[in-house]
A and B are shown apart, each in its own frame.
Chain A
Amino acid sequence: MGMTIAEKILAAKSGSKVVVPGDVVTVDVDTVILFDNNFMPNNWRDILQVADPSKIVVTFDHRVPAPTQQAAAAQVTGRAFVKKFGIKRFHDVGHNQGISHQLVADYGYALPGSVLLCSDSHTCSAGVFNCLARGVGGPDIIYAAIKGQTWFRCGETVRYELHGKLPEAVTAKDAFLQIAGVHGAHATMNVEYGGPGVAGLSVNARKTIAAMSAELSAEFATFEADAALTEWISARNPAPFVPVRPDADAKYLAVRNIDLSALEPLVALPDSVVNNSQPVAKTAGTRIDQAYIGSCANGTQDDIELAARVVRGRRIAPGVRFIVVPASQTVYRDVVASGAVQTLIEAGAMIAPPTCGACGGGHMGVLGPNEVCLTSSTRNFKGRMGDPSSQVYMASPATVAASALTGVITDPREFLQ
């Protein structure tokens, strides 16, 4: 019987011939990522043995550099854990640090066909690398680090066939907001992305869609592999891998076509991205206090250079805080080298060190009462980025940068002709 990408990997990793929706399977885990929140004093349980230290990655990302004593204590605990088990892939504050999901891209940690776990819900970001990556609970991570295994419940799969090419100033974020706006939640389902339109998207752009799929409540989000993807991985990780294609007779709950060339810039209204997107024209003119570019979804070199193109030679509006956060030190170095950082700070942006920062309401741009933020980060739940009365709109980095210039939500196309 034909299987989808997710079903094929679940079968291979659980030693089953076939896996069908509804099955609960125990699988071997290839990569377990721990980050600072795991080590927080009120979360951490002291691990006495691990299955294989070479399968573990540790980074500090949610609160970096430590803004509080508890965050600092978590890092102390994390460093002791790394030392105790001799973990080599450790991304301490400094040269190699970054948001976990960006590090997976920077260092090629996710190989096609593999299983990757992290207790951050946007771990599906790594699904761009044709693997099964899932955000799980903190206890699941401790279990997987110790036993080398975890369990998954297989859901049905919805496939998105991408066609055409995005118009100028329209981005993968807009493509995602289109999918979320029209098709809503995908709870208990896997999403699979493929089709001829994938080739026209950079790996970074695809990663935006994969990461954002957490907002669909999808179980797994997985892209098909192509030459651009396999070259990306091979340039960063010498380990061999075999891409996983869906069977020709794979059974999908639905197959939906998305014409990228027909899309326009979209904005998600506050509190959810599910069935909550509008063309930018409809929200245009909404006053903002803060414009935020960053996160595991939109803190890449592509995103920051796009924002720089929008603001080049201009100044951001008085009264707007424009915060730009490269997702990793690697990205940071690249956007300094390309001149994007210079352009952005001349326009009046503040560049924060690589961290989740205000995306999770942790630090570096937390919102006050009744403030309005336009963000290109991942999640706009009530109170997500600060005070429960604050409002978080979501859009592409281009739309966020254009809006920082005007102080109100603005169509980026007028700045990118």
Chain B
Amino acid sequence: MTDMKKAPMRFKARVWIVGDNINTDLILPNKAFYLTHEEQAMYVFSANRPGWAEQVKKGDILIGGNNFGMGSSRAAARSLKNLGLACLIAESLNGLFMRNCVNFAFPALECPGVHAAFSESEEADVEFETAGVRNITRGTALQGKPLPAPLMALVQAGGVYQLLEKEGLIAPKSAAV
């Protein structure tokens, strides 16, 4: 969808770990629906891990289990991004959630074995484009599944809205939200 070339995306940071079947209602609960994007981010996991959102530091990496992001089409991926997480690596990503990661240009990868390969607070080194994942703390490495080329291009372009804005097909984002 675009031929823009960007510098490779590489993330090195501590990891947080969650389990299988994390659903969108846990990431973006209904009671945060009317809030601003920044406020919504502070509700991530408020039902299952209260207080966690305050502990996340900009650039941290989230590791998930199977079918991460199951559930609704709500902009849950946007909340993970706005919380400051650099990327998400999961055993597997829910198909609809993966779409929203691409839509909002939040780097997310599938990497079988990743859940067992890390303990919370260990350091990861992720090369997004090649899906190379290293555990710096343990000195181990894993190979994830790179995003298909057209989807990678969309992430590199900054997501759907940036693309449409550049093409003059949607109005620039208003300052109100």
Chain A residues close to B by CB (< 8 Å) = 24, 26, 37, 40-43, 45-49, 68, 70, 119-121, 134-140, 142-143, 146-147, 151, 153, 155, 185, 187-188, 217, 219, 272, 274, 360-362, 379, 381-384, 386, 388
The answer on a CB contact under 8 Å between B161 and A382 is: no
The answer on a CB contact under 8 Å between A185 and B25 is: no
* B156 cross-chain contacts in A, Cβ below 8 A: none
Task: Give the shortest distance, in Å, between A296 (CB) and chain B (any CB).
Answer: 12
The answer on a CB contact under 8 Å between B30 and A360 is: yes
Q: How far is the CA of A379 from the CA of B74 in the complex (A)?
A: 14
Q: Considering the complex, which residues of chain B in the window 136-174 have a beta carbon less than 8 Å from any beta carbon of chain A?
A: 148, 150-151, 159-161, 164, 168-171, 173-174
Given A188-B92, A381-B71: A70 and B34 within 8 A (CB)?
Answer: yes
The answer on a CB contact under 8 Å between B103 and A140 is: yes
Q: B55 at the A/B interface (Cβ < 8 Å)?
A: no
The answer on a CB contact under 8 Å between B75 and A138 is: yes
The answer on a CB contact under 8 Å between B21 and A272 is: yes
Task: Give the shortest distance, in Å, between A359 (CB) and chain B (any CB).
Answer: 11
Among A45, A120, A135, A382, residue most surrounded by chain B Cβ atoms (within 10 Å):
A45
Q: Which of B48, B77, B164 contacts A142 (CB 8 A)?
A: B164
* B73 cross-chain contacts in A, Cβ below 8 A: 119-121, 135-138
Q: Considering the complex, which residues of chain B in the window 61-93 have a beta carbon less than 8 Å from any beta carbon of chain A?
A: 66-67, 70-75, 77, 92
Q: How far is the CA of A365 from the CA of B74 in the complex (A)?
A: 21
- Main secondary structure on chain A at its contact with chain B? loop
Task: Give the shortest distance, in Å, between B122 (CB) and chain A (any CB).
Answer: 26
Task: Give the shortest distance, in Å, between B74 (CB) and chain A (any CB).
Answer: 8
Q: Which of B2-10, B11-19, B94-102, B112-120 contacts A (4 or more CB under 8 A)?
A: B94-102
The answer on a CB contact under 8 Å between B95 and A41 is: no
Task: Give the shortest distance, in Å, between B102 (CB) and chain A (any CB).
Answer: 8
What residue of chain B has the Cβ atom nearest to residue A147's Cβ?
A: B169
* B92 cross-chain contacts in A, Cβ below 8 A: 187-188
Q: How far is the CA of A211 from the CA of B33 in the complex (A)?
A: 23
7 A–B pairs (Cβ distance < 8 Å), ordered by A? A42-B34, A135-B73, A136-B73, A143-B164, A217-B96, A360-B72, A386-B30
* B148 cross-chain contacts in A, Cβ below 8 A: 24, 153
Q: Which of A45, A120, A136, A361 contacts B173 (CB 8 A)?
A: A45
Given A119-B73, A142-B170, A217-B67: A384 and B96 within 8 A (CB)?
Answer: no
* B21 cross-chain contacts in A, Cβ below 8 A: 185, 272, 274
Task: Give the shortest distance, in Å, between B140 (CB) and chain A (any CB).
Answer: 26
What residue of chain A has the Cβ atom nearest to residue B50's Cβ?
A: A388
Given A24-B150, A188-B92: A137 and B171 within 8 A (CB)?
Answer: no
Q: Which of A42, A49, A135, A155 contacts B35 (CB 8 A)?
A: A42
The answer on a CB contact under 8 Å between A136 and B99 is: yes
Q: How far is the CA of A139 from the CA of B161 in the complex (A)?
A: 7
Task: Give the shortest distance, in Å, between A53 (CB) and chain B (any CB).
Answer: 15
Given A40-B33, A142-B164: A137 and B177 within 8 A (CB)?
Answer: no
Task: Give the shortest distance, in Å, between B160 (CB) and chain A (any CB).
Answer: 4
Q: How far is the CA of A114 from the CA of B109 in the complex (A)?
A: 31
The answer on a CB contact under 8 Å between A139 and B160 is: yes
Q: How far is the CA of A47 from the CA of B25 in the complex (A)?
A: 28
The answer on a CB contact under 8 Å between B160 and A142 is: yes
What residue of chain B has the Cβ atom nearest to residue A118's Cβ?
A: B73
The answer on a CB contact under 8 Å between B103 and A139 is: yes
Given A139-B104, A381-B71, A382-B47: A48 and B171 within 8 A (CB)?
Answer: yes
The answer on a CB contact under 8 Å between B26 and A217 is: no
* B30 cross-chain contacts in A, Cβ below 8 A: 360-362, 383-384, 386
* A43 cross-chain contacts in B, Cβ below 8 A: 75
Given contacts A139-B160, A360-B30, A388-B29, 18 further A-B contacts (CB under 8 A): A26-B150, A46-B170, A46-B171, A47-B169, A48-B170, A48-B171, A120-B72, A134-B96, A135-B72, A137-B99, A137-B100, A139-B161, A142-B170, A187-B70, A217-B70, A272-B21, A379-B71, A382-B26
What residue of chain A has the Cβ atom nearest to residue B67's Cβ?
A: A187
Task: Give the shortest distance, in Å, between A5 (CB) and chain B (any CB).
Answer: 17
* A155 cross-chain contacts in B, Cβ below 8 A: 95
The answer on a CB contact under 8 Å between A388 and B103 is: no
* A151 cross-chain contacts in B, Cβ below 8 A: 150-151
* B173 cross-chain contacts in A, Cβ below 8 A: 45
Q: How far is the CA of A135 from the CA of B99 in the complex (A)?
A: 10
What residue of chain B has the Cβ atom nearest to residue A122's Cβ?
A: B72
The answer on a CB contact under 8 Å between B170 and A146 is: yes
Q: B175 at the A/B interface (Cβ < 8 Å)?
A: no
Q: Which of B77, B94, B100, B168 contacts A217 (CB 8 A)?
A: B94
